[in-house]
Amino acid sequence: MSDGKLGVWMGALLLAVALPVWAQDPPPDESGVTGEEALEETPGEGGGVDLRFGVEAKAHFRQSDGNRFRVNFPFTPAMLPPGGAAFEETVDEGSHFEVSVLTLFVDAVWSEGLAAHAKIDAIDLYDRNPTSGDKKLDVDEAWIRFGRESDPGLLPARGGAYLKVGKFPKFERQDDRHLESYGLLSTAFNRFEDTGVELGLNLGRHLYLKGSATQGNPLFIRDPNALAGDNGTDDFLGANPSPELKSGIVILYDAEVEDLDTDGDPEIGAGLGLRFGDDAGRNAVDLLVWGYRRTLADTVDLEGTFYGGDLDLLRGPGENDPRFRFPGLSGDDKQEVGANLWVYLGGLTFFGQFVDQEIASLPRTGWEGELAWRFELPLVWAVAGRQLFPSIAPAVRYSRIDNDFRNPQFTPSPSLNWDWEKLDAGVRFAVIEGIDVTVEYAANRFILGSGAEAENDELLSTLRWRM
């Protein structure tokens, strides 16, 4: 590790030690929206640690349209599947029942200013990349936080700061999605957690700053529907490969961080936010502008695929063979600037995001908006002291990505520069406390290199159980 990089990580460590002193100043005499104080002390305030465990399981019925698009890449005959032609194809088309994830949550709270969280996924079918070859057990989150952090739209009681260290979601990620699927932006830019440190500063109750120094999610490819697809799996090492799950129709995205790596340059992120609302968070507006910058690695090894991430992916096979590399590719700088808007009006929720990105001089922009309305249902039935069907939440999300770069002359993934829009619409039924069902339909529309429009739709039903 170079001295400069060591300095960044040491600085983060120093902050981790110093911030708790600042973050735990005694609160001013400021009451909440009701003018009343809390009845009980916050967990952990009595001394010791408040330890909580939770589990979650998701089962699905998925119906994926079957579509495929011819690929012009000059594979050798041995590299081509039976039939002698290569395609980008829907991942695992048809109707399927599947259990996608079993999750264990652990929360430890020592005080309002000191907490830790872990999320461990087993199976992890929809977050695997490649779908069939990636890890089936994954530590999605593992972090410790010093100081108080506010959720989007929630006013902190006072100014302050926090520092989070470990593996955690990116601060601009929508954290209360109302559909099981992801939009194009939430797939491309911030679906997966990153590893490092995050600093938050509340400058009073309304203005806030975010900053992060993280490892950076490797650039890779996946299908934006439920399953990522199989690319570069062991199947492709044999003659005439025919992977059962297929490649998917892929976009560029920030993939999962595989292992802790402090050798590379950190990705630096910053955000400036402004929020207004009531103390209960029922009605709130939160606007965040943010940006990230990092240096792309020559290659990144990913579990289950021999394709390399980052520049390796963009340069294609061969040593800078101009036929296979993206023509506009230049440098190794990757940066995004974006803006988020959260609006909460009682049960009505809107989340919007805009992103402008450059990947080694390959530009693209995108935006996404989700509107959801969660409302209580009247009490009709009950089981074991709990209401059956307590709420329902219809939601609709539109997202699009416009790619302003050209594909290589020959590419196994021509969809990477297709302009794309995705409309997701669905409804989430709460069955009983801890169990809900989400039924949704994803309509993908994209413009092929020929100018023709095509689609690749998917119906997804999710039964989620949580306790």
Partner 1 sequence: MAHVKRFLPGALLVLGALISHGASSEELRGKVELLARGGKGPARGADVRRAVVSFEPVSRQPVRPPAEPFVLATRQKQFVPRVLAVPRGSRVRFPNEDPILHNVFSVSPDNVFDLGLYRKSKGRERTFDKPGLVRVFCNVHQGMVGYLLVLDTPFFTAPAADGSFVLTGLPGGHGKLTVWHEQGEAWTQDVRLPAGPVTARLEVSRAGAPPHLDKRGNPYTSRDSYRDQ
Tell which positions 342-361 bind partner 1, by CB under 8 A.
Answer: 344
Interface pick for partner 1 out of 234, 278, 301, 457 (rule CB under 8 A): 278
Give least dist CB 154 to partner 1, A. Answer: 6
Tell which positions 9-38 bind partner 1, by CB under 8 A.
Answer: 32-38
Q: Does 178 bind partner 1 (CB under 8 A)?
A: yes
Give least dist CB 255 to partner 1, A. Answer: 17
Query: Both tokens of residue 364?
Result: 């693209």
Interface pick for partner 1 out of 298, 376, 404, 455 (rule CB under 8 A): 376
Q: Does 378 bind partner 1 (CB under 8 A)?
A: yes
What is the 3-state secondary structure of the chain?
CCHHHHHHHHHHHHHHHHHHHHHCCCCCCCCCCCCCCCCCCCCCCCCCCEEEEEEEEEEEEEEECCCEEECCCCCCHHHCCCCCCCEEECCCCEEEEEEEEEEEEEEEEEECCEEEEEEEEECCHHHCCCCCCCCCEEEEEEEEEEECCCCCCCCCCCCEEEEEEEEECCCCCCCCCCCCCCCHHHHHCCCCCEEEEEEEEEECCCEEEEEEEECCCCEEEECCCCCCCCCCCHHHHCCCCCCCCCCCCCEEEECCCCCCCCCCCCEEEEEEEEEEECCCCCEEEEEEEEEEEEECCCCEEECCEEEEECHHHHHCCCCCCCCCCCCCCCCCEEEEEEEEEEEEECCEEEEEEEEEEEECCEEEEEEEEEEEECEECCCCCEECCEECCCEEEEEEEEEEEEECCCCCCCCCCHHHHCEEEEEEEEEEEEEECCEEEEEEEEEEEEECCCCCEEECCEEEEEEEEEC
Tell which positions 393-412 bind partner 1, by CB under 8 A.
Answer: 393
Interface pick for partner 1 out of 25, 42, 136, 323 (rule CB under 8 A): 42
Nearer to partner 1, 49 or 388 (CB): 388
Nearer to partner 1, 117 or 210 (CB): 117
Give how many residues touch partner 1 by CB under 8 A.
Answer: 42
Only segment of 61-69, 125-133, 166-174, 292-300 that touches partner 1 (CB under 8 A): 166-174
Interface pick for partner 1 out of 386, 404, 448, 455 (rule CB under 8 A): 386
Give least dist CB 250 to partner 1, A. Answer: 23
Interface pick for partner 1 out of 10, 280, 348, 448 (rule CB under 8 A): 280
Phi–psi pair at 20, nearest 5 degrees = -55, -35
Interface pick for partner 1 out of 25, 175, 404, 455 (rule CB under 8 A): 175
Nearer to partner 1, 99 or 280 (CB): 280
Only segment of 213-221, 228-236, 258-266, 382-390 that touches partner 1 (CB under 8 A): 382-390
Give least dist CB 414 to partner 1, A. Answer: 31
Tell which positions 96-125 bind partner 1, by CB under 8 A.
Answer: 117, 119
Nearer to partner 1, 324 or 344 (CB): 344
Calculate the dihedral angle through the C-alpha atoms of 24, 200, 138, 396, rounding to the nearest 10 degrees.
120
Nearer to partner 1, 142 or 447 (CB): 142
Interface pick for partner 1 out of 5, 293, 374, 445 (rule CB under 8 A): 374
Q: Does 151 bind partner 1 (CB under 8 A)?
A: yes
Q: Does 275 bind partner 1 (CB under 8 A)?
A: no
Residues that bind partner 1 (CB under 8 A): 32-43, 117, 119, 141, 151, 154, 169, 173-178, 278-283, 344, 374, 376, 378-379, 382, 385-387, 393, 428, 430
